[in-house]
Structure 1
Amino acid sequence: MSLLAPDSPSMPSRAWHGILCVELGMLFFVAQDAMMKEMLNSYSIWMLIFVRALVSVCILTPLVVLLGRPHRLLTPLWPLHLARAALFTIGFSMFYAAFPFMGLAEVTTIFFSAPLITAIMAALWLRETIGPHRIGALAVGFAGILIAMNPAGDNFSWIAILPLSCAVAYAASQIIARKIGDRESTLTVGLHTLAFSGLMIMPMGWAFNRIVTPGPGFDHLGWSLPFAPLTDWPALALLGFLGMGGYLFLSRAYQVANASLIAPFDYSYLPFAALLAYALWSEVPPANTLLGMALIVGSGLYLGYRELHTYRTEQDPAIVGKGVFTPGSPLPQQVPDSEDEWWPPRDDRYSPG
């Protein structure tokens, strides 16, 4: 999961700043997903994803205009952004569709298989080498996925396939991010991904309901555009703000601290989600989910360790970005060109696996 950067003598002094920012980012994303789970009782997935995208674009657009180069509103790479947006729109529609049927910790544990899937895709399509250590870590991680999903158990439901499908779509989007590389800033990537996603989600919801008639219990997938009363507007705005705030905190974290140090803190999303789900809905993850979570996290951390070990062995001076696999976040994170750079830098590279 973690994509690592070289050590810098000036970065460790700001490590606590970076750790604090990444933890705040995780809290924002957990709060966003908890709000999404609760609001699905009143609104459709299509509307909530659209509102989240709309609020985020309203925040990002003036930032891009104000900051200027290297950020830009118009880009010749729009086909790649469009492809990423399609993957995000489809993937996170499936992710949130599982919320009414599964616990928050269960859904997100399965989704955190995304870095493992990305490593496989990078080996197949980008010809990246996976050595025996990484193969072993991937095997352990995928064993964790099977344990968390428990397909042979009496309580298994096809709903568990939805967050796994989202992880596959997210991993594919990260491969496209590699194709974009350092030709775009993160703000530009985020703006176009969110803007295209917002444009796609409503037609997608309409088309889905023309093909499939959601049955009882699937009201959150129905095609209805209820008028949001004025009293709900602040909550809808907060939903978009939390997603955008989480992204900005994560961006800041990887600009002020060494990614190899703070990357493991991404996994704090999982215990945060479990605790919040228990506090709000008295959800207690089953034993197989907890065991699967431990194996997936351990596998991801070991992959990150191997990335750092390989990098230090080769003494490659190039900065390698780090992709953050956070549910609901459409934005790849990366390491800055300099520690003084506040906003997302020009380099969006990352190296999965």
Structure 2
Amino acid sequence: MHRPSAETATIDWSPNLSGPARSTSSSARQVRIGVACIFGGVVALTLQDAVIKWLSSDFALHEVTFARSLVAIVITLAIVRLEGGMRLLRTRRPGLHIVRCLLFIWTNMCFFMGVASMSLAEATAVFFVAPLFITVFSVVLLKDRVGPRRWAAVLVGMVGMVIMLRPGRETLELAALFPVGAAVGYALLQIVTRRLGTTDRASSMALYVHLAFAVASLGVGLVIGDGRFAGSDHPSLQFLLRAWSWPDGMELALLFACGVLIGAGTYFLSQAYRVAQPAVVAPFEYTALPLSLLWGLLVWGDWPDATAAIGMALIAGSGLYVFYRETLTAPPAVVRRLLRRGR
């Protein structure tokens, strides 16, 4: 899943930065670096989604996420050391960290359950309604002001989501609800991150998330990892309830790759938003849609029908328009978070 980019640490290696993030104007070189970083991050995260979809037919979801988290913890600890050491992990807001970790776990689990049944492109497109939910929740929870144009864009995006849900097709409809749940969880996650990010470093938030995911995955595995509740015919539920199994050499390499890809992908996304203006780099996050379509076509031969293509176009178009309107009305700190995702 192309997840919240705040899930990884950001090391300030970017040139000519002013202040904690960067100057408001980006040089041509910074723009090129930013675009390269965000594209590299999207490639890594969509590849991770493809690997997890591949593993979903043989492994339990909690086994995959446990292995992924172990690798990601090692990568994040290395970044923490480069940033300044373990002192960065101190926090005055442990309660918000717990809420954020739970939301991150919910978001990832829902998305990957959807990927087990849907094509990568369709699951990714449904998940991209998250920026629309962020708009709604920012009004309800943060009392942000949203004009009629953005509300219209939100409505158009929701229509696209309904099209993707395919009312009347029971199997696909159930599967599509999982990335919708992921989008809702991600939107709430970003609201919490906006509060927590004012006092805590990205590296500490990342490490807490990966530690929580490892503990939660292991806990679920100890309870249902023997397959006692397996037996459902639905691919998503099979992925959730399947017994743990020992991977062979190739499968172990794929599990390791998941951890490397989530660590590298979210790091590149964070760097992109440091070295270039959000208005320049954020739209490139939507390259996740054609990339997911490409991986699905190459590996599984998936190709969306006309109905799915219409839904994808409505969701992508509305999300981009909401971001465009946000750049005109919101301060840079808010814009920077609008479309930043890592799943």
Residue number among 21, 36, 41 corresponding to 1:20 in the alignment: 36
Q: Is the 1:145–1:296 Cα contact (8 Å) retained in structure 2?
A: yes
Q: Is the 1:103–1:283 Cα contact (8 Å) retained in structure 2?
A: yes
SS at structure 1 position matched to 2:111: helix
Superposition map of 1:1-353 within 5 A: 8-68=24-84, 72-152=88-168, 156-207=172-223, 213-216=230-233, 217=235, 218-311=237-330, 321-326=336-341, 328=343
Supply the distance in 1 between the matched residues of 2:190 and 2:145 (Cα, whole angstroms). 17
Q: 1:122-159 CA deviation, whole Å, 9 max, x = no partner?
A: 11011111111111111111111111212145775312
Measured on the aligned residues, the alpha-carbon RMSD in Å equals 2.7
State the partner residue of 1:338: none
SS at structure 2 position matched to 1:130: coil
SS at structure 2 position matched to 1:75: coil
SS at structure 1 position matched to 2:167: coil
Supply the distance in 2 between the matched residues of 1:322 and 1:69 (Cα, whole angstroms). 26
Residues 189 and 213 (structure 1), Cα distance of their counterparts in 2 relative to 1, 3 Å cut: same
What are structure 1's unaligned runs of at least 5 residues? 329-353
1:39 to partner: Cα distance: 1.1
Residues 277 and 71 (structure 1), Cα distance of their counterparts in 2 relative to 1, 3 Å cut: farther
1:230 to partner: Cα distance: 4.2
Q: 1:178-213 CA deviation, whole Å, 9 max, x = no partner?
A: 221310111111111121121112323555679955
Q: Is the 1:6–1:319 Cα contact (8 Å) retained in structure 2?
A: no
1:229 to partner: Cα distance: 3.2
Supply the distance in 1 between the matched residues of 2:107 and 2:41 (Cα, whole angstroms). 21
SS at structure 1 position matched to 2:117: coil
Q: Is the 2:323–2:335 Cα contact (8 Å) retained in structure 1?
A: no
How many residue pairs get aligned? The number is 322
Q: Is the 2:134–2:338 Cα contact (8 Å) retained in structure 1?
A: no
Residues 289 and 324 (structure 1), Cα distance of their counterparts in 2 relative to 1, 3 Å cut: same
Q: 1:96-129 CA deviation, whole Å, 9 max, x = no partner?
A: 1122321111111111111111111111011111
Q: Is the 1:43–1:220 Cα contact (8 Å) retained in structure 2?
A: yes
1:321 to partner: Cα distance: 2.9
Residues 11 and 158 (structure 1), Cα distance of their counterparts in 2 relative to 1, 3 Å cut: same
What are structure 2's unaligned runs of at least 5 residues? 6-20
Residues 156 and 37 (structure 1), Cα distance of their counterparts in 2 relative to 1, 3 Å cut: closer
Supply the distance in 2 between the matched residues of 1:194 and 1:245 (Cα, whole angstroms). 14
Q: Is the 1:206–1:223 Cα contact (8 Å) retained in structure 2?
A: no
- Aligned AA (1:227): W
Q: 1:288-342 CA deviation, whole Å, 9 max, x = no partner?
A: 221111111111111111112225xxxx6878532445451xxxxxxxxxxxxxx
Supply the distance in 2 between the matched residues of 1:208 and 1:173 (Cα, whole angstroms). 27
TM-score (norm 2): 0.85
TM-score (norm 1): 0.83
Q: Is the 1:115–1:325 Cα contact (8 Å) retained in structure 2?
A: no
Greater Cα shift, 54-63 or 28-37? 54-63
Q: Is the 1:6–1:317 Cα contact (8 Å) retained in structure 2?
A: no
Supply the distance in 2 between the matched residues of 1:16 and 1:44 (Cα, whole angstroms). 40
Q: Is the 1:112–1:325 Cα contact (8 Å) retained in structure 2?
A: no
Supply the distance in 1 between the matched residues of 2:133 and 2:192 (Cα, whole angstroms). 14
1:94 to partner: Cα distance: 2.0
Residues 167 and 9 (structure 1), Cα distance of their counterparts in 2 relative to 1, 3 Å cut: closer
Residues 233 and 128 (structure 1), Cα distance of their counterparts in 2 relative to 1, 3 Å cut: same
Q: Per residue, is there more helix in 1 or in 2?
A: 2
- Aligned AA (2:288): Y
1:69 to partner: Cα distance: 6.8
- Aligned AA (1:176): V
Supply the distance in 1 between the matched residues of 2:23 and 2:91 (Cα, whole angstroms). 33
Supply the distance in 2 between the matched residues of 1:122 and 1:14 (Cα, whole angstroms). 30
Supply the distance in 1 between the matched residues of 2:157 and 2:86 (Cα, whole angstroms). 38
Q: 1:8-55 CA deviation, whole Å, 9 max, x = no partner?
A: 334344212211111111110111000000011221100111111111
1:89 to partner: Cα distance: 1.4
What is the identity percentage for the equivalent residue pairs of Structure 1 and Structure 2? 30
